[in-house]
Amino acid sequence: MTEAVLAQTANINPGLAAIGYGLGAIGPGIGVGLIFAAVINGTARQPEARGKLQTLGYSTFVLSEVLALIGVVVYFIASNR
């Protein structure tokens, strides 16, 4: 039963999967820009807090980029079926 359901849901056009990934990568791209803009702004206002801001910036950058990596994995899963 699960193979029949999987066969029905796996009918995704690879072109549509690429468009979906492209649209899904917009969010993390904007997020990364906002994160580092905030780090630069905070460093300009308080130079002594640079180390803490960079650490926080890189950790949130990683969390944002995980979404893009999940999108890449989903794209390859959808295009190989």
- Residues of the domain holding 13: 2-79
27 DSSP assignment:
H
Q: What is the mean pLDDT of residues 23-39?
A: 92
Q: Which of 80, 79, 61 is nearest to 19 (CA)?
A: 79
Instruction: Calculate ∠ Cα 6-74-81, nearest 5°.
Output: 45
Q: What is the number of domains present in the chain? A: 1
**CATH number of the CATH domain containing 39:** 1.20.20.10
Tell me the one-letter amino acid at 38.
Answer: A
Please tell me the number of Cα atoms within 13 Å of 67 on its side-chain side. 15
Q: Tens digit of pLDDT for each residue in 38-81?
A: 999 999 999 999 999 999 999 999 999 998 898 888 888 877 76
